[in-house]
Amino acid sequence: MKEYFDFSSAGFITTKFENYFGEKNSPWGQKKPALYQHTDLVDWIGLPVFIKDFELKKTENTKLYFSALGCVEIYINGKRTDFGEMKPGWSDYNKRALYWEEDISDFVVPGKNRILAVVSPGWYCGRIAGGWYGENPPSVIIAVRNGKKVAAETDTSWVCNVCGQIRTADIWDGEYRDNRETDYTVMSETGYDVSKWKKAKVFNYKGEVTPFIGSKVKRRDRLSLKPENIKVSNGTEFNGTHFGKLTISNPDASLPLKVQRGEKVTVDFGQETVGRLHIRFRAAEGVAVKMRYAEFLNDSGDIDRGNDGPDGSVYTINLRSALGKAYCVAGKEKTTDYAPTFTFFGYRYVEISSEDSFEIVSLKAEVVGNDNIEIGKIETSDELVNKLISNALWGQRGNYLSVPTDCPQRDERLGWTGDAQAFSITAGYNADVYGFFRKWMQDMRDSQGKRGGYADVNPRVGVCNSENACAWGDAGVIIPYNMYMLYGDKTILKEHYDSMEKYIKGLIADFGMSGPVPRYGDWLAYDWCDNRFVSSAYFVHDCDLMIKISEALGKKDRAEYYTSLRAKAQKYFSDKFLKNGKPKEKTQCNKILALAFNLVEDKYKQKLADELEKQIRDNGNLLSCGFLGTYNLCPTLSLYGKDKMAYNLLLQRKEPSWLYSVDQGSTTIWERWNSYTKEKGFGDVGMNSFNHYAYGSVVEWMYRYMAGIEPAAPGFRELKLQPRIDLRTADELPEGQKNIKWVKASYNSASGLIKSEWNTEKGLVYKCTVPKGVKCTLTLPAVSDTITVNGVKQDISGETVDFELKGGNYTFIQK
């Protein structure tokens, strides 16, 4: 157990300057940053900078504790510390700020030392916060300790200024840096004169300052990307459309690259990612290089196809009010190295230009996100499916940034609960996200309403201050349970239990048995089912999970309570939404949820599953559901033995389907099934993100059914291997589809490494690795009369063959 540092003797400090977000010098001419209107990023007055000199006798065991209301970078004795990005991360600042503890023994010296902190508005008072956490300027709290002795802590003996190279920084809008200003490294040298700086002001923070939990946001160097293509254009030409097209003067430029005034350089990284461009350029002092980030390029210049500029130019209208830009003004140095510090972008393309000539030396896409260790891998014989798997993984890498965001680019980037719960199992297979979600559940508790309602976005912010939405708020029950099942650790359940109870209690008090507010429903479905059906279904599901969670925690009486509550919730559901034992309404989602959440009597289940299958087949093997139906779709089909239909859907290429967007050129999962189509161009611009992971939830099915790695007990202490092989016969294959011939999956579970691989090129070969000490059952389809198990032949009869396996490696061959 880590020592809990008590910050109570220290205070947050802030600047005394009225003009930080005050009227005087505000570039937006308004007091509240949340309300500013703009058309471009501006060169403002810098960010709040705080400095303190302190003495140390010895350097060993010097620890730094820091938190900020905003995002902070720390410099010590002329060096920038490199502890992570966007520190300390987002929390519900009305309740809590998170502190980090870092060893700085290597940064300090015996004798005089200087520490500098520069703080940006970040999630605290940047535009994203919408004024929700008050109208205070960014603040910081710091303590330096040597052994047990406090060497420095924030108080009025710190000096402050609003200055420095980063002139403006905002999560949505971007960053403006001017290297002609003094570098923070220089300011943080003990010799730099700060005698004219003002004393810091103590800020009376009402929240708690608690240790950071979970994984941290880092620059993930192993994922950095190089440009795939660089184009230079020098104007526009008429092509018969509204905006025309860029005149490309060099379609495939290489670096270093001299750029003239009037030229635009468009860099394609070949992959939508999240983070920032790291550029090195040569330019005369005072030359401003401008970077515009975008997810897509305009495809024609045609306004009817949703284009917002000439063919080949960056498409940015879908960022809505977010500017997504960066400026860097060259200082005296011959070569400028620039990567934004206090912002991030969701992008694949960057347009680089200037009013003056300059030379680009190098370009790199630095990936920024929670450093969740990737523990799962799936590969198949189908390249398009592999691309889909990669798209989902990149969606996760980009959108798990301090909180699970809906999207990383437009004026949103919020912790939307519905999206997060839909994708949470996929995420938990791809990477170890236990700590990440433990932290986010803390955010949910902090933002929980007085009557128990979970906010639709967490941490709660002004731009979306609603709560209790069905399938969204329910994330507060669903995610802890999913994390427990995947990782086997009960801490998240224990920490969150009272909060979940409060949520359910609030729902009953406010809505009786009808469930949470029917606000979003099967979001973005082609065939929308009644939101009230969804509410009621999720309420029964909540009760089911509360029974299991209560049992896991040994709370027998509560489990009994939720069992009786479930019966009441089920009765409400059945009375209202079922007829002859089955859903009255006829959408796919009605059937999917009824089956997935166990809402129909056993005797009707198989029949309902058959009807679901038929309905999809009659629809041309096309799904028609949105966020909710989709994540439950394939697992439900497989649960009822409809693996063949699950494969039909997986390999479908018509709209709407997963591979449809792959065919349209996706490199991440899109918000809509038709966010972009080659046929019609860009989808509804009011809400059109090209990095929205919810539909990537099909990867859950791939791990659990296609590869068949399923926990039979929490944390895979017991394992169920249930690979569902693509056994569709030639006459069963929908037109244009081919079978998946092989699948290889591995998962470094909480109980050890699991592997599951199958190949149907010659008979059926299945290989698996079961971790030591894990009890495992395996079910394989019988495709022959005999099977050899690690070389030993045995006869089989029936449609499937079952094995009980201990830890080890196995090969099963059916010829």
* Closest CB 84 distance from ligand BGC, rounded Å: 26
Return the number of the residue (419 or 643) whose C-beta is nearest ligand BGC.
419
Q: Given the rule CB under 6 A, which of 132-140, 309-317, 413-421, 652-660 is the region that contacts ligand BGC?
A: 413-421
* Closest CB 191 distance from ligand BGC, rounded Å: 50
Residue 411 sits in the site that holds ligand BGC (CB under 6 A): no
Distance of alpha carbon 418 from alpha carbon 85, whole angstroms: 26
* Closest CB 456 distance from ligand BGC, rounded Å: 7
SS3 208: strand
Distance of alpha carbon 309 from alpha carbon 294, whole angstroms: 12
Return the number of the residue (541 or 692) whose C-beta is nearest ligand BGC.
692
575 token code pair:
């009375």
Angle (nearest 5°) at CA 534 between 529 and 537: 135
DSSP 335-386: EEEE--SS--EEEEEEEEEESS-EEEEEEEEEEEEE-PPB-EEEEES-HHHH
In this structure, are residues 649 and 633 in contact, taking their beta carbons and an 8 Å threshold?
yes
Contacts 24+ apart (CB under 8 A), 20-25: 20/45, 20/48, 20/137, 20/138, 20/162, 21/125, 21/135, 21/137
Residue 395 sits in the site that holds ligand BGC (CB under 6 A): no
Return the number of the residue (484 or 676) whose C-beta is nearest ligand BGC.
676
Binding footprint of ligand BGC, residue count (CB under 6 A): 10
Side chain identity, residue 408: P
Strand 174-178, strand 325-329: pairing: parallel
Residue 407 sits in the site that holds ligand BGC (CB under 6 A): yes
Return the number of the residue (418 or 428) whose C-beta is nearest ligand BGC.
418
Q: Which of 311, 382, 406, 446 binds ligand BGC (CB under 6 A)?
A: 406
Q: Which of 416, 437, 454, 573 binds ligand BGC (CB under 6 A)?
A: 416
**Catalytic option among 263, 295, 351, 412:** 412
Residue 412 sits in the site that holds ligand BGC (CB under 6 A): yes
Distance of alpha carbon 332 from alpha carbon 631, whole angstroms: 54
Q: What part of residues 77-96 is at the interface with ligand BGC (CB under 6 A)?
A: none
* Closest CB 156 distance from ligand BGC, rounded Å: 43
Report the sign of the C-alpha dihedral through residues 76, 81, 85, 90, in that order: negative
* Closest CB 487 distance from ligand BGC, rounded Å: 25
The DSSP call for residue 704 is I
Distance of alpha carbon 309 from alpha carbon 241, whole angstroms: 10
Q: Which of 419, 474, 643, 757 binds ligand BGC (CB under 6 A)?
A: 419
For the chain, the straight-line distance linking the first and the last C-alpha, in angstroms and rounded, comes to 54
In this structure, are residues 804 and 776 in contact, taking their beta carbons and an 8 Å threshold?
yes
What's the half-sphere exposure (Cβ side, CA atoms, 13 Å) at 306? 21
Residue 375 sits in the site that holds ligand BGC (CB under 6 A): no
Residue 329 sits in the site that holds ligand BGC (CB under 6 A): no
Q: Given the rule CB under 6 A, which of 4-12, 170-178, 411-419, 592-600 is the region that contacts ligand BGC?
A: 411-419
Q: Which of 159, 361, 375, 687 binds ligand BGC (CB under 6 A)?
A: 687
Return the number of the residue (419 or 710) whose C-beta is nearest ligand BGC.
419
* Closest CB 257 distance from ligand BGC, rounded Å: 36
Q: Is 412 a catalytic residue?
A: yes
Q: What part of residues 518-557 is at the interface with ligand BGC (CB under 6 A)?
A: 520, 523
Residue showing tokens 């990440």: 436
User: Which has the closest alpha carbon to 680: 270, 240, 307?
Assistant: 307
User: Which has the closest alpha carbon to 714: 498, 492, 529, 423?
Assistant: 492
Q: Given the rule CB under 6 A, which of 207-215, 415-423, 719-727, 740-748 is the region that contacts ligand BGC?
A: 415-423
Return the number of the residue (523 or 682) whose C-beta is nearest ligand BGC.
523
**Catalytic option among 671, 700, 710, 757:** 671
* Closest CB 524 distance from ligand BGC, rounded Å: 8
Residues with a catalytic annotation lie at: 412, 671
Interface ranges with ligand BGC (CB under 6 A): 406-407, 412, 416, 418-419, 520, 523, 687, 692
